[in-house]
Amino acid sequence: MNVYLDNNATTAVAPEVTEAMMPFFRDRWGNPSSMHRFGGSVAHEVEVARERVAALLGAHPNEIVFTSCGTESDNAAIRGALARLPDRRHIVTTKVEHPAVRTTCRWLRGQGCPLTELGVDSKGRLDLDDLAAAITDNTAIVSVMWANNETGAIFPVERIAEICKSKGVLFHCDAVQVAGKIPIDLSRTRVDLLAISGHKLHAPKGVGVLYIRRGTKVSPLIMGGHQERGRRAGTENVPYIVGLGRACELAMETMAEENVRVRAMRDRLEAGLLERCPGAVVNGDPAHRLPNTTNVSFEYVEGEAILLLMDQVGIAASSGSACTSGSLEPSHVLRAMGVPFTCAHGSIRFSLSRYNTEAEVDYTLEQIPRVIHRLREISPYVTSERSNASRAQAGA
Amino acid sequence: MWDYSDKVVDHFLNPRNVGEIAEPDGAGEVGSLACGDALKLTFKLGPDGRIADARFKTFGCASAISSSSALTEMIRGMTVEEAERVSNRDIADYLGGLPEQKMHCSVMGREALEVAIANYRGEGDGKKRQLEGEVVCHCFGVTRKDIERVVRENRLSKIEEVTHYCKAGGGCESCHDEIETIIDQVRGAADVAEAPPAPAKKRLTNIQKIRLVEETIEREIRPRLRLDGGDIELLDVDGNRVIVAMRGNCANCLTAKFTLKETVEAPLREFVSEDLVVVQEDNDS
C-alpha cells in the first residue's frame, strides 16, 4: 500500500484540475494580451480563475496577482513593500517562518534593514504583546505566517492584523499552508499582503498568488510588460492559472469535509501513534492547529532513518531532523520552540489531505510502531525495558 | 532523498552485528543525542588475539547505522593493531562511498573504534571520549586535534568539508575563522612535507631567478596545462615580469586569463618570488 502523508510538502493535483488545464495546452494556447480571438477568450478564462481565487480568499478580483509560486509571492510582498517605503526600514517577523520569508528577511537585514525575529513558546505560540512592542516608527512591515508548515500551529492573524493597522504598519501574511484548509476571509481580516501557493491545494507546482489589498503600494519584483495590472510582468501562465482557479473552487466545496473527515483521521492517527509508540510526543499547539497536520517526535530514534524505513513500507512523510536536510541542526521551528534534542531529531510530520482514507490510517498505525521499534532496538539510548515495552506495543 | 549506494542501503536495512557484548575486551561510546548521532561499539578478542566479535548500537540516520554495521564487519578477524589502522575513509570505501555531507558518520565509526581500543589497553573508561586539548567547535564539542586529523587524513581544504567530516562549524559558525586557520596550518605543513626541498625565497640573482622560473614551469605548471591539451613557453624574464606565450589549447582558450593567474602566476609566486607578474606576449607588437 502506498500512503502519502506529506501534503504540507506538496499535494496530488486534483483530476478535475488537470482536466480544466488540458485545453490550454492543446487548442487554447493564445496569449491573453493579444488583440485577436486567440487571445481574447483565453484572457476571459484568466479572469474567471482570478474570481475563483478571490472568492476563496474573500477578496476582490483586482486584489489578486498571479505569480510563479508561494516563494515569489513572499519575496514580492516584502521586498516590493519596502521599496515603496524608503523612510522605513525595520522588519518584524518570527523565528518559525518558512525559508521563503526567513531568508528574504535575513537578506534584507544584510542590505541594511533592521530585523526583529520574534520567538515562540514551547507550543509554537507568539506573544502578541512582544509583537506590538517590537513595532517602532521605523517599522515598514510585519510578516507572520498564518499557520506553520511543520507543526500546523495557527497564529492569531486577525489580532496581528489589528495591531499592525493600529500602529500604521503593513502586514504580510504567508498563508501557503492555510489556503484551502481553513476559511480565509480577507474582507474581515485586515491583512495587507498575503501569499498562497497552488501546489499546496491540489493545483500543480509553478503557480502562486500574491494578494495586494486595494490601496497598498508595492513595487513589482519582476518588471516588464503590463500584465497583472503592472504588478507582475511576464506572459500569464494560463494553464496553471486556470488550474489554480479550479483548485480554489474545489477547495471551497471540500473545506467543510477537510475540517471534519480529515481532522478526524488526523486525530485518530495521532492518538494511535501516541498509544502504540511509547516515548512519542506531539509538537505544537493541539488547540490551534491545521486540521490535517500532526508533528510527532519519537524519542531516541532519528528522523531520516524513520523516513527511510517508512518508505520501505510505502508511507511518505517529512522530518525536522537535521540529517534529512543535510544540515547538522534540527528544524529551526522545533529549536525555536525549545523542543529537546532527544525529540527534535526524531520528529516526523504527518500531513493529510482529502485523498487519504481510513484504511491508510489503519495501515500507517500498523506499520509505524514496527519501524520505531526496529530502530530502537539498534539505539544505544534504549534500555532493554524500554525496548520490551515498545516491542509489546508494536506487536513484534 | 539521499543518493546512498546499494551497500549503504543494504547495511541500513539489514544491519550486521547489532547489540552489545556483555563482557567486552574493549568498549567505545561516542556522540550524543544533541548531536543527532551516537555509537556504542564493543568487541571481544578470540584466543588467537584477533577480534572474534564486534557489535554496535547506533542512534542516527541511515548512513550512521550503515557505517557502524560496516565497521563491525571490517574489524572482525583483525588484530587490534590492524584495527587501529582503519580510517574513516576505509569505512566509507567499504560502503561504496558516502554522500559528502554524511562523511561524519564514517568519522564517528573511526572515533568509536579508537575509544574502544584505548579502553582495551586500559586507557579511558570507554564511556566517553576524552576531549583532548582545546575545543574549537563548542556546538558539537570538536577539538583542534579532531579537526587537524580529518583535514590531514582526508586532504580537506574548505570549512564546509570540515563540517561534513566532523561537524565542526555546523552550528553557530563562530569558529569558522579558527577552522580556516587550522586548515591553513595543516595544509601548510603537508605542503612542506610533500614538496621537494623548497627553494629559499632569498634575493635571487637574475640567472638564479630565470632558472627557478624554468624549473617551476617544468615541474608545476606545464604538467597541469598539458592535461588540458595546452602548453606554455617562457619567452623572457625582465625584472619581476615573466613573459610567456600560451600554446596549444591554452592559446585560444576563453579562460586563458584565469589560467594565467591561477595556474601560472600563482605557482611562480609561490616557488620563485612573490612579486612576480606574469604577462602574455603581446601579439600586436
- The domains of chain B are located at 6-189, 206-280
What number of C-beta contacts closer than 8 Å exist between A and B?
71
Q: What CATH number belongs to A3-8+255-394?
A: 3.90.1150.10
Residues constituting chain A: 396
User: Which residue of chain A has the CA closest to B166?
Assistant: A328
- Looking at domain B206-280, its CATH class is alpha beta
pLDDT in tens, A133-170: 999 999 999 999 999 999 999 999 999 999 999 999 99
CB contact under 8 A, A380 and B38: yes
Nearest CA distance, A128 vs chain B (angstrom):
28
CB contact under 8 A, B36 and A379: no
pLDDT in tens, B65-99: 999 999 999 999 999 999 999 999 999 999 999 99
pLDDT in tens, A100-136: 999 999 999 999 999 999 999 999 999 999 999 999 9
Q: What is the mean pLDDT of chain A?
A: 94
Does B165 contact A at CB distance below 8 Å?
Answer: no
CB contact under 8 A, B163 and A345: no
User: Which residue of chain A has the CA closest to B139?
Assistant: A329
Q: CA geometry: angle at A223 spanning A219 and A227, to 5°?
A: 95
The whole-number average pLDDT for the span A172-182 is: 97
The whole-number average pLDDT for the span A324-342 is: 81
Does B169 contact A at CB distance below 8 Å?
Answer: no
- The domains of chain A are located at 3-8+255-394, 15-251
Chosen for mutation from B59, B142, B176 (greatest number of chain A CBs closer than 10 Å) is: B59
CB contact under 8 A, A321 and B101: no
The whole-number average pLDDT for the span A353-375 is: 97
A316 to chain B: which residues are within 8 Å by CB?
none
Question: Between B20, B39, B60, which is nearest A302 by CB?
Answer: B60
Q: pLDDT at position B130, please?
A: 55
Question: Between B57, B140, B167, which is nearest A378 by CB?
Answer: B57
Question: Between A303, A321, A326, which is nearest B101 by CB?
Answer: A326
Q: pLDDT at position B43, please?
A: 97
Q: Which residues of A are catalytic?
A: 323
A300 to chain B: which residues are within 8 Å by CB?
33, 59
B38 to chain A: which residues are within 8 Å by CB?
380-381
Q: What is the mean pLDDT of chain B?
A: 86
pLDDT in tens, B248-284: 776 666 566 667 777 888 888 888 888 888 888 765 4
Chosen for mutation from A325, A329, A341 (greatest number of chain B CBs closer than 10 Å) is: A329
Q: pLDDT at position B284, please?
A: 44
Closest CA to A20 of A181, A208, A244, A346: A244
Question: What residues are paired with B245 via a beta bridge?
Answer: B233
pLDDT in tens, B117-139: 999 998 877 765 555 678 888 87
CB contact under 8 A, B59 and A380: yes
Does B164 contact A at CB distance below 8 Å?
Answer: no
How large a percentage of chain A has pLDDT more than 90?
87
Quote the cell numbers at residue B43: 568487541
Does B105 contact A at CB distance below 8 Å?
Answer: no
User: Which residue of chain A has the CA closest to B169?
Assistant: A328
Chosen for mutation from A298, A307, A323, A348 (greatest number of chain B CBs closer than 10 Å) is: A323
Q: Which residues of A touch B (CB under 8 A)?
A: 300-305, 308-309, 312, 321-324, 326-330, 341-342, 345, 377-381
Distance, in Å, from the CA atom of A69 to the CA atom of A268, rounded to the nearest integer, reads: 33
Q: How confident is the model at residue A250 (pLDDT cuts 50, 70, 90)?
A: very high
Q: What is the ipTM of this complex?
A: 0.85
Q: Which amino acid is at B146?
A: D
The whole-number average pLDDT for the span A341-356 is: 92
User: Which residue of chain A has the CA closest to B66?
Assistant: A305
CB contact under 8 A, B61 and A302: yes
Task: Assign domain A15-251 one CATH number from 3.40.50.1580, 1.10.10.10, 3.40.640.10, 3.40.190.10.
Answer: 3.40.640.10
Question: H/E/C letters for each residue in chain B?
Answer: CCCCCHHHHHHHHCCCCECCCCCCCEEEEEEECCCCEEEEEEEEECCCCEEEEEEEEEECCHHHHHHHHHHHHHHCCCEHHHHHCCCHHHHHHHCCCCCHHHHHHHHHHHHHHHHHHHHHCCCCCCCCCCCCCCEEECCCCEEHHHHHHHHHHHCCCCHHHHHHHHCCCCCCCCCHHHHHHHHHHHHHHHHHHHCCCCCCCCCCCHHHHHHHHHHHHHHHHHHHHHHCCEEEEEEEEECCEEEEEEEEHHHHCCCHHHHHHHHHHHHHHHHCCCCCEEEECCCCC
User: Which residue of chain A has the CA closest to B20?
Assistant: A380
Q: Is the pLDDT of residue A396 over 60?
A: no
Q: Give the end-to-end CA distance of chain B in Å, rounded to a whole number.
A: 58
How large a percentage of chain A has pLDDT more than 70?
95
Q: Residue B206: how many CB atoms within 10 A of its CB?
A: 10
pLDDT in tens, B171-219: 878 899 999 999 998 988 776 665 555 444 567 788 888 888 888 888 8
Question: Between B13, B20, B62, which is nearest A304 by CB?
Answer: B62
Q: pLDDT at position A214, please?
A: 96
pLDDT in tens, A308-318: 999 999 999 99
User: Which residue of chain A has the CA closest to B40?
Assistant: A380
Q: pLDDT at position B285, please?
A: 39
Does B12 contact A at CB distance below 8 Å?
Answer: yes
**Which of B204-210's residues contact partners 24+ apart within 8 Å by CB, and which partners?**
B204/B272, B204/B273, B206/B237, B209/B237, B209/B272, B209/B273, B210/B237
B37 to chain A: which residues are within 8 Å by CB?
302, 323
Least confident of A239-253, A268-282, B156-170: B156-170
pLDDT in tens, A283-321: 999 999 999 999 999 998 999 999 999 999 999 999 987
Q: Is the pLDDT of residue A274 over 50?
A: yes
How large a percentage of chain B has pLDDT more than 70?
89
Quote the cell numbers at residue A379: 539505539
Nearest CA distance, B123 vs chain A (angstrom):
22
Question: Between A324, A328, A345, which is nearest B163 by CB?
Answer: A328
CATH fold of the domain at B6-189:
Sufe protein. Chain: A (3.90.1010)
pLDDT in tens, B12-60: 999 999 999 999 999 999 988 777 889 999 999 999 999 999 999 999 9
Q: Is the pLDDT of residue B165 over 60?
A: yes
CB contact under 8 A, A304 and B33: no
Q: pLDDT at position B192, please?
A: 62
pLDDT in tens, A60-109: 999 999 999 999 999 999 999 999 999 999 999 999 999 999 999 999 99
Chosen for mutation from B56, B61, B128 (greatest number of chain A CBs closer than 10 Å) is: B61
Q: pLDDT at position A89, please?
A: 97
Does B39 contact A at CB distance below 8 Å?
Answer: yes
Residue partners of A238: CB distance under 8 A and separation at least 6: A24, A28, A29, A32, A42, A45, A46
Q: pLDDT at position A75, please?
A: 98
Q: pLDDT at position B131, please?
A: 59
